[in-house]
Amino acid sequence: GENVEQHPSTLSVQEGDSAVIKCTYSDSASNYFPWYKQELGKRPQLIIDIRSNVGEKKDQRIAVTLNKTAKHFSLHITETQPEDSAVYFCAPRGGSASKIIFGSGTRLSIRP
């Protein structure tokens, strides 16, 4: 089945600096690549996604880049702020009949 790995598992950055989280997957048929954010005690919420025909997508301070050849995609957060502190999950989807598999999560902490 699909194997999804997320790195790093924890990340601490100074406020204002950038953060990058990487997700690797094994299913070459994967065609949808989202990132979810889960604040402490809350539900996960989609923050950005990308499809296999696009290499990069940006939404204000967050961006997602996709490298289909290498089978990984990354979340980039620039000018980090305290409210960016959360756990971030990738959840690539394989072929259209496949289940979504969530990565193990990255706990991002923003230092003041």
SS3 for 62-111 is: EEEEEECCCCEEEEEECCCCHHHCEEEEECCECCCCCCECCCCCEEEEEE
Q: State which of residues 3, 12, 45, 67 lies at the interface with other proteins (CB under 8 A).
A: 45
Taking CB under 8 A as the rule, does residue 34 contact other proteins?
Answer: yes
**Candidate ranges 17-25, 55-63, 65-73, 89-97; the one touching other proteins (CB under 8 A):** 89-97
Taking CB under 8 A as the rule, does residue 73 contact other proteins?
Answer: no
Nearer to other proteins, 72 or 93 (CB): 93
Q: Look at residue 35 and give its three-state secondary structure.
A: strand
Picking from 4, 2, 27, 15, the residue whose alpha carbon sits closest to that of residue 83 is: 15
Taking CB under 8 A as the rule, does residue 43 contact other proteins?
Answer: yes
Nearer to other proteins, 43 or 112 (CB): 43
